[in-house]
Amino acid sequence: MTNFKRAALAATVSVLAMAGSVSADTVKFAFIDPLSGPMGSSGDAGFTSFKLAAEHINAAGGVNGDQIEVVGYDNKVSPKESLVQLQKAIDSGARYILQGNGSSVAAAIIDAVNKHNARNPGEEVVYFNYAAVTPAFTNEACSFWHFRFDAHADMKMNAITDWIKSRDDIKKVYLIGQDYVFGEAVAAAALEQLSEKRPDIEIVGNELHPLAKVKDFTPYIQKIISSGADAVITGNWGSDMTLLVKAAADSGLKIPFLTFYGGSLGAVAALGEGSIGTLYQVTEGITNLEASDDQYALIEEYKDRFPDYDYYYHRAFVTMNMFDMAAEKAGSNDPIAVAKALEGLTYDGAYGTVTMRAEDHQAQQPLYISTVSKDVKYGVDNIDLGWALVDNGTIPATAAEAPTTCKMERPE
Amino acid sequence: METIVFSLLNGIIYGLLLFMLSSGLTLIFSMMGVLNFAHASFYMLGAYFAYTVMGATNYWVALILAPIIVGVVGMGVERWGLRRVHANGHVAELLFTFGLAYLIDEIVKIVWGRTSVNYQVPDALNFPLFTIYNAQYSAYRIFILFVAIFMLCALWYLLKKTRAGLIIQAALTHPHMVGHLGHNVPAIFMGVFGAGCALAGLAGVIGGNYFITDPAMAVQMGPIVFVVVVVGGLGSLEGAFVAAMLIGLLQTFAISINASFADIFGFLGLSPTSEFGSITIASMAPMLPFLLLVLILIVRPTGLMGDREV
Amino acid sequence: MTTDYAALEPSRSEKFRQRILPLILFALLLVVIPFFGPSRTTLTLLNHMGINIVFALAFNMLLGRAGLLTFGHAVYVGLGGYFCVHILNWIDASDGGFWSSVPVFSMPIWGFAMGALAGAVIGWPSCKRSGTPFAMISLGVAELMAAFAYMFDSFFGGEMGISGDRMSGPEFLGLSLGPLDEVYWFIAFWTFVGVALMFAFTRTPLGKLSEATRDNPERVQFIGFNPTRVRYLVFIFSGAFAGMSGGMAAVQDEIFTPESLSLIPSGAVLIAAYIGGIRYFTGPIMGAIVLTYMQSNLSDYSAGWLLYLGLLFICVVMFVPNGIAGMVYGGYDAVRKGKTAEVLGQFALRALGVALMAVSVIVIVEVAFRYSEGYGEVFEPFGLSLPPESVLTWILAVVPLAAGIWLTRHVTRKAEEV
């Protein structure tokens, strides 16, 4: 009989415990990005950043008293697989989606989220895009359910061309990119903005090559040398970026290679000292910027916890903190309320003020042009080279801003 | 003139690198009929072993030691894996290597991490050797040239002029006869597979620091190696050499041609702003080897210099 | 003595049991599944399984039946699927006219047609060869097509691909195709149609001829057929069914991106078909189910899922060349021959051996993965703590492995003695 009582007591306790856990809910974030395979490391670097950001918020009392949980879903960078994982995430109770690697995946997720929200009212999900930079997502293809915390390609190009404007010694620019929408968009944006800001600059080459098919970039480099270019602008990422700059270093071409993705994991390690003064990148912040002690502590904590990676996804922390602010402001963790509160929200980040523009859900923030240097506080890729700000490298948010054609449909 | 000199030089270097990569595959392919899908994975292993050995000793030791280690790994794979699968036919063998490629990729990630490693050109070779038309040629590029030519000569001598080469060549076409003559054919197969892998490993040591050493390098190199071997023709080392050079030169020359389809077919009314017309020859260059592969196989299934159908 | 061939013909009941009954059972299974109230995740997974079943069977028409290995079969799925997404958009945009009367339900038919067309165009040059040249041509074509997909934005939509809306156009059978359970009926219907048609194909003279061409093309020539043409026709059908699965995918996912034409899905279907067993008609079905499940769910449990997949694949190639279907039918045969106890005993011992090896492999892989990622995480299955330096870890990594190898070898040797 005592056994029965004990069992009943245990059952009651566990039911109570469950009820208790319901009142102190968890807000589930689904991180849908590659966590295995060739792109696994870049997804993992983002995942660890989001997890650390969530831990910090939880330690400070959570969001409206609730704890944040970030769960990883491995999408193998396949848009189709992402849809399966998205469904899995939604069914497990996630109302916030985090994704960044690959515009094809981002497009699939935006589309699926739009349709899901239209077909399942009351069960809305919101998608925080932290790295897919195709401008269309906050222009013609904009959605109320999509927020982008990274600057899009045209904004980054704005930063690059602004910097070029300040460099009178650059007279000839060479454009090279991967032969697909993104590469073409980067080239088109560069052409347009340069002709506006520096009409005297001559575009001495506009080259596209197939995606991830070129092994030896030396012939391209020699075309660049022959053209007499003073700077190269490229949207290349992955091995296309690394091999391009590596071939340049081998051929003794010491001109700035202005990239979007120079800071990708392992790029500096692969290039070694050849990247000094050659590899440039545009980002929303680098670890070697002047910052508060809290920020330095965060950078060091990240490196300590995840020694394989570096503090690169600053925007992951911005995303989570802005979510926290919006939810507190709305007084609710409901996706629609949070989404509405996020519109127009301003956040004082470690590297400047971030504003979520209401018309198109595109974060506006200062951008920084940096290059690889030996003389830095924090190295990357576990070697002593790191990123340092270049002269006139700070591009204020207003200068980087790009107009939008978004006509947003908001829910009632 | 400038363009031609550049393209020639670059084409030859790239072609030789391709040849280094594919010579091992040709050996294995022609001897055992196995299209070794994991060949590029052995190339990757070569680069990683070299990185580790170089960390402990120096580059020159790595240059010798890493290919040997890769060769031993290859022999193990043949002895305990491939030989077992052999009875189930060529498709099974091919699929075995297909799975092996997955496995090696993952193991490399566990052992050396998921991002690229800092495997650099040794200081002794890291200087510009000469400059033409403002472009520097690093000593390492020329070093690649010499290693590849040395390898070509050594291979040729071994296969054509030594007794071991004769036996291998005989085992290639008439394995049973060679077996009846008292040679241990399985051992020859194992040796050849190991040697083929070692050659891939050597290419990895050379190419790993010339390009980048990361877990994706095998996947990126995979397809092009097949193209070289198949275009060159089965069982023909000379064919592989010619194909590698042809592809190297074709690709680099194409890169220097800025003409678009509209420029060429403009007389047919193709507009330069149309999607097809705006494609330039240069942007198509890296796809040319695959086009060549399809065309060659349709027109001449033995490949350029092969003596039997692939 | 002459053989009476008429007597060799299977009786009607045999025909029914072997040809019709499995299809009826399959249809019943498809109908019963929704009554268990699957979640939306399960439905999504089931729908992808249906798509992959059709794709894997189409692929196996070439590899298993005709003996043609291809590395680029996803090209036909992609072309069929892209075409169907375009049709979805035409239906959505149409105002009267032809497309406004086309139900979305018919998408797989359009995919079928497009796949057949693509197969007819690409197959013409490539089917002149068989064996390795055919495989290499397919590899080259796949690489070219994948590159083109990124270059021609108007058809392929660039990196972002093209998306459509499956809820447009006239409804068919009262299915709005909005909620996933309605999509399930759509997929189930077409999966059944695809499986039944491809099964029927194996019974046609062309299906039989394709097997003959695989085994002995010269003899096929002797009896008056042209092997090249047989291969070509089979290739068109195979492309068509692949395109059909593309049409199904277009409705399920409502988006197609250039990756769907690449070597990755082509390789995945090869693995699926082989794991399932290419010698059996049902093999690719089993393989597609297992692989789809593994691809979507194994990654939830372990970061090393690709390693497990590679290991599984290699083990199947090395030790079970007839795949899952081979094991199933082998067991079934033994049961029919009345050797149930014997086979069951052997099977149990083997399973034990494999399970023991699996324990070690899992321990090694998981500990290694955690060690290499360096977050200081410890592998803790069932409350056991297994850090890399603990003795228990090493014991678990070595002892079960050795025991498993010994056990399976022992069973194999015994079986050979008998």
Which residue carries 């090393």 as its tokens?
C304
Put simply, whether C139 touches A (Cβ < 8 Å) is no
| Amino acid code (one letter) for A45 | A
Residue of A68 and C393 predicted with greater confidence: A68
- Residues in chain C within 8 Å Cβ distance of A78: 259, 264
- Using the Cβ of A275 and the Cβ atoms of chain B, whether some distance falls under 8 Å is answered with no
Q: How many CB pairs under 8 A join A and B?
A: 116
pLDDT at B308 (0 to 100): 59
Position A14 scores a pLDDT of 44
Q: Which is it for strands A126-129 and A26-33: parallel, antiparallel or unpaired? A: unpaired
A-chain residues near B140 (CB < 8 A): 250
> pLDDT category, B309, cuts 50, 70, 90?
low
Hey, what are C40's tokens?
């939306």
Return the pLDDT at A342. 93
Q: Exposed, middle or buried by CB within 10 Å (0-12, 13-18, 19+), for B227?
A: buried
Q: Is C147 in contact with A210 (Cβ distance < 8 A)?
A: yes
Three-state SS for B130?
A: strand
Question: Would you say A210 and A179 are in contact if contact means Cβ atoms under 8 Å apart?
Answer: yes
Residues of C in contact with B309 (CB under 8 A): 129, 131, 133
Of all residues in chain C, what percent carry a pLDDT higher than 90?
29
Chosen for mutation from C159, C182, C307, C369 (greatest number of chain A CBs closer than 10 Å) is C159
* B69 CB neighbour count, 10 Å cutoff: 19
Nearest Cβ partner of C306 from B102, B113, B291?
A: B102
Q: Which of A230, A237, A250 to mutate to test the interface with B (most CBs of B within 10 A)?
A: A250
Region of B293 please: left (phi>0), alpha (psi -120 to 50) or beta: alpha
Chain A nearest CA to B251, separation (Å) = 9
Q: Confirm if A130 and A150 have CB atoms less than 8 A apart.
A: yes
Beta strand pairing call for A96-99 and A67-74: unpaired
Asked if A354 and A364 count as a contact pair (C-beta separation under 8 A), the reply is: yes
A163-177, B89-103, B207-221, C370-384: least confident range: C370-384
Contact indicator for A163, A280 with CB cutoff of 8 Å: no
Judge whether A252 and B135 are in contact, CB under 8 Å: yes
**Residue A299 CB neighbour total at 10 angstroms:** 19
B135 against B183, higher pLDDT = B183
Residue A33 identity: D
Of the candidates A143, A53, A21, A199, the residue with the CA atom closest to the CA atom of residue A410: A143
CATH of the structural domain A154-288+366-399, one choice from 3.40.50.2300, 3.90.25.10, 2.30.30.30, 1.10.3720.10: 3.40.50.2300
- C376: left (phi > 0), else alpha (psi -120 to 50), else beta? left
Percentage above 90 pLDDT, chain B: 20
Which one, of B202, B204, B191, lies nearest residue B44 by Cα?
Answer: B204
Indicate the pairing of strand A146-148 with strand C255-256.
unpaired
SS3 B129: strand
Interface of B with A in 97-126 (CB under 8 A): 109, 113-118, 120
- Give the pLDDT confidence score for residue A117 in this predicted structure: 92
Phi, psi of A249 (to 5 degrees): -60, -40
Contact between B102 and C313 using a beta-carbon 8 Å cutoff: yes
Q: DSSP letter at B274?
A: S
Q: In the structure encoding, which two tokens stand for residue B178, read together?
A: 């060679």
Residue A181, chain C, CB below 8 Å: the answer is: yes
C286 versus C137: which is more confidently predicted?
C286
| Closest approach of A206 to chain B, Cα-based (Å) | 10
Contact C306 A37 (CB under 8 A): yes
Contact assignment for A219 to B252 by CB distance below 8 Å: yes
Contact B17, B207 (CB under 8 A): yes
pLDDT at residue C134 in the model: 85
| Tokens representing residue C284 in the block | 């690719």
User: Cα–Cα distances in Å, from C273 out to B81, B85, B237, C316?
Assistant: 21, 18, 34, 11
- Chain C residues with CB under 8 Å of B274 CB are none
Q: Which fold has domain A10-132+295-350?
A: Rossmann fold (3.40.50)
Q: Does the distance separating the beta carbons of A221 and B140 come in below 8 Å?
A: no
Average pLDDT of the residues in C239-255: 93
Contacts with A, B 181-220, CB within 8 Å: 210-217, 219-220
State whether residue B278 is helix, strand or coil.
Answer: coil
A91 CA: distance to closest CA in chain C (Å): 7
Terminal Cα-to-Cα distance of chain C (whole angstroms): 35
Q: Which helix (H) or strand (E) holds B137?
A: strand B135-138
Residue ranges for chain A with pLDDT beneath 70: 1-24
Question: Are A390 and A231 in contact, with CB atoms under 8 Å apart?
Answer: no
At C57, give phi and psi (nearest 5°): -65, -40
So where are chain A's domains? 10-132+295-350, 154-288+366-399
Q: What six digits make up the tokens of A189?
A: 């944006």
Q: What is the ipTM of this complex?
A: 0.83
A32, A49, A78: best to mutate for the C interface, most C CBs within 10 A = A78
Q: List CB contacts (< 8 A) between C154 and chain B.
A: 275
Question: For the range B124-131, what are the long-range contacts, defined as Cβ-Cβ under 8 Å and sequence gap of 24 or more?
Answer: B124/B59, B125/B59, B128/A252, B131/A252
In the three-class reduction of DSSP (H, G, I as helix; E, B as strand; rest coil), residue B4 is classed as helix
The reported pLDDT for the residue numbered C374 is 62
- Range C65-77 average pLDDT: 90
Looking at chain C from residue 306 to 325, which residues have their Cβ under 8 Å from any Cβ of chain A? 306
3-state SS of chain C is CCCCHHHHCCCHHHHHHHHHHHHHHHHHHHHHHHHHCCCHHHHHHHHHHHHHHHHHHHHHHHHHHCCCCCCCCHHHHHHHHHHHHHHHHHHHHCCCCCHHHCCHHHHHHHHHHHHHHHHHHHHHHHCCCCHHHHHHHHHHHHHHHHHHHHHCHHHHCHHHCEECCCCCCCCECCECCCCHHHHHHHHHHHHHHHHHHHHHHHHCHHHHHHHHHHHCHHHHHHCCCCHHHHHHHHHHHHHHHHHHHHHHHHHHHCEECHHHHCHHHHHHHHHHHHHHCCCCCCHHHHHHHHHHHHHHHHHHHCCCHHHHHHHHHHHHHHHCCCHHHHHHHHHHHHHHCCCHHHHHHHHHHHHHHHHHHHHHHHHHHHHHHHHHHCCCCCECHHHCCECCCCHHHHHHHHHHHHHHHHHHHHHHHHHHHC
Of B100, B226, B290, the CB nearest to C314: B100
Helix (H) or strand (E) holding B57: none
Q: Do A180 and C159 touch (CB under 8 A)?
A: yes
C205 C-beta neighbours (distance < 10 Å), count: 9
Look at phi and psi of residue A334 and say left if phi exceeds 0, alpha if psi is from -120 to 50, else beta: beta
* Nearest CB to B14; choose among A212, A213, A216: A216
Q: How many Cβ pairs closer than 8 A exist between chain A and C?
A: 110
User: What is the Cα–Cα distance from A320 to A354, expressed in whole angstroms?
Assistant: 13
Measured between beta carbons, the chain C residues lying within 8 angstroms of B260 are none
- Torsion sign, CA atoms A187, A193, A198, A200: positive
Q: What does the block give as tokens for B265?
A: 């077919």
Chain C residue at shortest CA distance from A306: C375
Rounded Cα distance between C246 and A79, Å, is: 15
**Which residues in chain B are contacts of C125 at CB distance < 8 A?**
294, 298
Chain A's closest residue to B216, CA to CA, is A38
**Which chain B residues are closer than 8 Å to C308 by Cβ?**
none
Do the Cβ atoms of C131 and B94 come within 8 Å? no
Say whether C40 and A83 touch across the interface (CB within 8 A): no
Tell me which chain A residue has its CA closest to the CA of residue B222: A213
Residue of B290, B300, B308 to mutate when probing chain C, most C C-beta within 10 A: B290
Check if the beta carbon of residue A159 is closer than 8 Å to that of residue A342: no
pLDDT score for A46: 92
Q: Parse chain C into domains and list their residue ranges.
A: 10-262, 339-417
| Residue (of A136, A146, A140) closest to A112 by Cα position | A146
Q: Chain A contact for B137, CB < 8 A? A: yes
Residues A157 and A216: beta-carbon distance below 8 Å: no
Q: Quote the pLDDT of residue A230.
A: 92
pLDDT score of C3: 66
> With 60 as the cut, is the pLDDT of residue C297 above it?
yes
- Interchain contact, A219 vs B17, CB within 8 Å: no
> What gap in Å lies between CA C3 and CA C382, rounded to an integer?
64
Q: Return the bridge partners of A74, or none.
A: A33
Cα–Cα distance, A79 to C253 (Å, whole number): 9
Q: Are C162 and C156 in contact (CB under 8 A)?
A: yes
Question: Are the beta carbons of B294 and C304 separated by less than 8 Å?
Answer: no
Give dist(CA B285, CA B253) in Å, integer.
Answer: 8
